[in-house]
Structure 1
Amino acid sequence: MTTSTTAPFATDWTTWHDAHEAARASEHGFLTITSIRWLQAEPEQFEDAPGAWSTSEDGPVVALDAGESIVVDGQEVTGTHRFGSLAERSGVDVLWRDGDETVVIEVARRGGSDIIRPRRSSAPLRTSYRGTPAYAPDPAFAVEAHFEPFDEPREVTVGSVVDGLQHVYAAPGVLRFDLDGPRTLTAFNGHGDGLLVLFTDRTSGVTTYAATRSLDVPAPDASGVTRIDFNRATNLPCAYTPHATCPLPPAENRLDVAVEAGERLPA
Structure 2
Amino acid sequence: MISLDPIISRLPRLQQGEVWLAGAGPGDPAHLTLLTLSGLRQADAVVHDALIDPRVLALAHEGAVLIPAGKRGGKPSAMQADITAQLIELARAGRRVLRLKGGDPFMFGRGGEEALTLAAHGVMFRIVPGLTSGLASMAAALIPLTLRGVNQAVVLVTGHGADRADGMDWAALARLDQPIVLYMAMTNLAAITAALLAGGLAPDTPAAAIASATLPTQQVMVATLASLVETVAQSGIVAPAIVVIGRVVASRAQLLALLPALAATDAATDASTGG
Structure 1 length-normalised TM: 0.24
More helix by share: 2
TM-score, scaled to structure 2: 0.24
Q: Which has the higher strand share?
A: 1
